[in-house]
Amino acid sequence: MDGQTGIEYLPDPDAQPLRSRKSQRDDLDMMDIRQSVVALGAALLVASGAAMADVTASSKGGPGVDIAGEMTALFGTERQSLKRLPEVRLDAIANGPKKKSKAVPEGFGYTDAWLFAQPAPTGGEDWQCLTTALYFEARGEGLQGQFAVAEVILNRAESPLYPGSICGVVNQRGGGGCQFSFVCDSTSDKMRDAAARDRAARVARVMLDGAPRLLTDGATHFHTRSVRPGWARRFPQTAAIGAHVFYRHPSVNG
């Protein structure tokens, strides 16, 4: 999101008509400091993704205005902008996209024995969205295939290229269609197969809880083997699991 920084300095009505060259240089130096403070704050606001139409230096005081006070107000504005960002965006700004750094859960493996030994899954909106996506996009896949599709959705949610939430990624529309076909296919989203729904819900829960992403090397896209979308020629392929082939957007680090 682009921001524009407008900086305007008005003459000080209380200034003396004749001033020494040193005083004039001091005034110019102080103006440069104020301009740098405003520019720094503007850059921070843009980096945080905040919408910023204009930032103007105060003209209420002369060159001797309290710079510390302006900095406090400016960074207070930036801090409020950061508070409005989703937690995953804040993490991406501070640390970059998440890597596979979480500890592997004890006994973790791509097996039904391990998966069904975990507590019965529950969760909020993101868990529901991820469960639904896995059910409709991958319920016919083996366990690794379902985990692989979950990796793609989480990778997207943690990339600044895509919406910053699981539900935002799953329901994203654009280009005359939807990122996930089941969202736009005009059929019921009711998950009628109870066993497949439970399996998808368990995969979604453990992935949201930090199960490692070991299968797709940071993939952000996938398609079935029966099709070949145009982007598949431009994106590096990272994996092929079951009926799906996986790719990573060139702008995303693996």
Q: Do 105 and 78 share a domain, yes or no?
A: no
Range 107-116 average pLDDT: 93
Give which of 51, 49, 53, 73 is closest to 61, Cα–Cα.
Answer: 73
- Structural domain span for residue 164: 101-247
Q: Do 146 and 229 share a domain, yes or no?
A: yes
Q: Do 78 and 32 share a domain, yes or no?
A: yes
* Per-residue pLDDT tens digits for 31-66: 454 554 444 444 443 344 333 222 222 333 334 445
Q: What pLDDT shows up at residue 10?
A: 33
- Looking at the domain assignment, is residue 90 inside a domain? no
Q: Do 202 and 129 share a domain, yes or no?
A: yes
| 8 Å CB contact between 135 and 247 | no
Domain count, the chain: 2
Q: Which CATH number is 190's domain given?
A: 1.10.10.2520
DSSP run (H or E) holding 224:
strand 221-224
* Per-residue pLDDT tens digits for 136-164: 999 999 999 999 999 999 999 999 999 99
Q: What pLDDT shows up at residue 89?
A: 56
Whether residue 225 is predicted with pLDDT greater than 80 in this model: the reply is yes
Whether residue 87 is predicted with pLDDT greater than 60 in this model: the reply is no
Q: Do 105 and 81 share a domain, yes or no?
A: no
Compute the distance between CA of residue 170 and CA of residue 159 in angstroms, rounded to an integer.
14
